[in-house]
Amino acid sequence: MFAARRTIGLCQRRAFSATASQASKVTVLGAAGGIGQPLSLLMKLNPRVSQLALYDIRGGPGVAADLSHINTNSVVTGHEPTPSGLHEALQGSDIVLIPAGVPRKPGMTRDDLFSTNASIVRDLAKAAADSCPNANILVISNPVNSTVPIVAEVFKSKNVYNPKRIFGVTTLDVLRASRFVSEIKKTDPADEKIPVVGGHSGVTIVPLISQSKHSDITGETLDRLTHRIQFGGDEVVQAKAGAGSATLSMAQAGARFADSLLQASQGVKDVIEPTFVESPIYKSKGIDFVASKVRLGPNGVEEIFPIGEISEYEQKLLDACLVDLKKNIDKGIEFVKANP
Ligand code: NAD
Ligand code: LMR
């Protein structure tokens, strides 16, 4: 995390044990998948979670039975792939993590997943809007630039939309940025705070190296680093050679973002994470959603920070990002209008 995680140590451990008893229900939709299983494991290990509800179109109860033997206090429930099973998984939930949907294969873009994942996310969003309209919804399913607007449109159509509670999880871009910089600079990645703004696919991923302590990274090194952060997902897709995309690193990223929200909702101050939310930053350009640094609080989004001072290099990246981002967002909105 950006600000709050700097305090890790005795202080934070105290905060952890002091708040661990507060009830927090976390639901994972797509819990038996490549991301869903390790993400559910990490949530089972999180002392801030009191109930973990697992739902998938196949295998949810099995994963739940397995995780339920881990000796942490949270209660794990597995739910049948039926409307009532989905409702039970969602009812009373504080945080709904959505990694349901198909992953990429080599040669595909995230946008190529739209035809399958858009309707999966729309239908799960409908269920969440009905069963837990006040929950924080954390969208992992790709293409995030479109699936987050889809969730927002569904919630609007049911008159329960709260822009402070719908998030696209872009934390994996932040993890990659800090890890890849640390490899270049031979530093501890935990000390690297690199804001990543824009969206979550290719050129819409905009790392702001000038805002890190490494504004001395320039030239070809900066080109290579930027490209690696923007296309890190492709690196994993290629390496898995048809068996899917990032799952373990994504689980860690999703668990970190969920933990940040849990911390914020349980009173920890200055919890700041980059995330893709409805935002005023580029509304004048007709772009309603963008990832930027966000302060999280008990009500979800507490404060959206401006992009801030950036280099000419980053401005060019951002200009390219906004062109694609607008198309991706509009595509999601149009989809729900045409396929309510
Ligand atoms: P996976 O195929 O391994 O798992 C997906 C799971 O979703 C499966 O278990 C499947 O049964 C389940 N599912 C499908 N339709 C469902 C429905 N209607 N309701 C409930 N569950 C349903 O895929 P994965 O590797 O876990 O990836 C999942 C998604 O996450 C993909 O869209 C992928 O592109 C995306 N992803 C996003 C990020 C990110 O940074 N936001 C990172 C990695 C992957
Ligand atoms: C990632 O960044 O790893 C994910 O969005 C999965 C993908 O398709 O690359």
The predicted pLDDT at position 23 comes to 86
* Closest protein CA for atom 44 of ligand 1: 246
The C-alpha atoms of residue 271 and residue 267 are separated, in whole angstroms, by 10
- Contact call for residues 55 and 85 (beta carbons, < 8 A): yes
Average pLDDT over residues 30-49: 98
* Range of lowest pLDDT (1-15, 67-81, 104-118, 232-246): 1-15
Q: Which of 29, 42, 54, 56 to mutate to test the pocket of ligand 1 (most atoms within 8 A of CB)?
A: 56
Q: Which of 111, 142, 173 to mutate to test the pocket of ligand 2 (most atoms within 8 A of CB)?
A: 142
pLDDT in tens, 115-160: 999 999 999 999 999 999 999 999 999 999 999 999 999 999 999 9
E-assigned strand segments in 84-203: 95-98, 136-139, 166-168, 196-198
Q: How remote is the CA of residue 111 from the centroid of ligand 2, in Å? A: 11
In the block, which residue shows the tokens 């630039």? 145
Averaged confidence pLDDT in the chain = 94
- Is the shortest distance between the CB of 128 and ligand 2 below 6 Å? no
- Is the shortest distance between the CB of 233 and ligand 2 below 6 Å? yes
What single DSSP character describes residue 243? S
Q: Is the pLDDT of residue 102 over 50?
A: yes
Q: At how many degrees (to 10) do helices 232-240 and 171-185 cross? A: 90
- Is the shortest distance between the CB of 228 and ligand 2 below 6 Å? no
Residue 134 CA from chain centroid, whole number: 18
Q: At how many degrees (to 10) do helices 219-230 and 171-185 cross? A: 150
11 pLDDT band (50/70/90 cuts)?
very low
Domain boundaries, the chain: 1-335
Nearest ligand 1 atom to alpha carbon 245: 25
Q: Is the pLDDT of residue 22 over 60?
A: yes
Question: What pTM does this model have?
Answer: 0.95
DSSP 283-294: GGGT--EEEEEE
Q: Indicate the fold that domain 1-335 takes in CATH.
A: L-2-Hydroxyisocaproate Dehydrogenase; Chain A, domain 2 (3.90.110)
Coil, strand, or helix at residue 333? helix
Average pLDDT over residues 261-284: 97
The C-alpha atoms of residue 233 and residue 301 are separated, in whole angstroms, by 27
- Is the shortest distance between the CB of 230 and ligand 2 below 6 Å? no
What single DSSP character describes residue 231? T
Q: Is the pLDDT of residue 20 over 70?
A: no
- Ligand 1: list residues with CB < 6 Å: 29-30, 32-36, 55-58, 99-104, 113, 117, 120, 124, 140-142, 144, 169, 172, 200, 244-247, 250
Q: Which residues are catalytic?
A: 200
The predicted pLDDT at position 155 comes to 98
Q: Is the pLDDT of residue 228 over 50?
A: yes
Which are the contacts of 13, defined by CB distance < 8 A and separation ≥ 6? none
